[in-house]
Structure 1
Amino acid sequence: MKPRFTLFPLWLISSLFISFNANGGEGGGQTTSTPKAAMSIGAHDFDFFMGDWVIENRKLIKRLEGSDQWETFQARQHVQQLPGGIGNFDEFVAKTWKPDYVGMSLRVFNPETKLWSIYWLTNQNGGIDSKSGALMPPVVGKFENGVGIFEGADEFNGKPILVRYTWSQITNNSARWEQAFSPDAGKSWETNWIMQMTRASNK
Structure 2
Amino acid sequence: MNGDFDFLFGRWDVHNRWRPDLDDDGSWVEFATACEARPILGGLGNIDSFSFAGLPGRNPWEAGTVRLYDPSEDVWRIYWMSSSRPGRFDEPMEGRFADGVGTFYGPEEWEGRRVRARFRWTHGPGTAQWEQSLQLVDDGPWKANWTMDFRPAG
What TM-score does the superposition give when structure 1 sets the normalisation length?
0.70
Aligned residue number for residue 82 of structure 2: 122
Structure 2, unaligned stretches of length 5 or more? none
Aligned residue number for residue 115 of structure 2: 161
Q: Does 1:67 align with 2:24?
A: yes
DSSP-derived class of the 1:181 partner: strand
Q: CA deviation at 1:94?
A: 1.2
Q: CA deviation at 1:136?
A: 0.6
Aligned residue number for residue 136 of structure 2: 183
Structure-2 separation of matches of 1:193 and 1:179 = 5
Q: Equivalences for 1:30-69 in 2 at 5 Å? A: 40=1, 43-62=2-21, 64=22, 66-68=23-25, 69=27
CA RMSD of aligned residues (A): 1.5
Structure 1, unaligned stretches of length 5 or more? 1-39, 125-131
Aligned residue number for residue 34 of structure 2: 76
Q: CA deviation at 1:188?
A: 1.2
Higher helix share: 1
Structure-2 separation of matches of 1:187 and 1:67 = 17
What TM-score does the superposition give when structure 2 sets the normalisation length?
0.90
Q: Does 1:103 align with 2:103?
A: no
Amino acid in structure 1 at the alignment position of 2:112: G
Structure-1 separation of matches of 2:106 and 2:147 = 18
Q: Deviations over 1:45-82 (max 9, x none)?
A: 001110000001111022x4x12201101110000111
Higher relative contact order (CA 8 A, sep 6+): 2
Aligned residue number for residue 12 of structure 1: none
Q: CA deviation at 1:99?
A: 4.0
Percent sequence identity over aligned pairs: 30
Distance 1:154 1:73, change over 3 A: closer
Structure-2 separation of matches of 1:163 and 1:47 = 23
Structure-1 separation of matches of 2:96 and 2:72 = 13
Higher strand share: 2
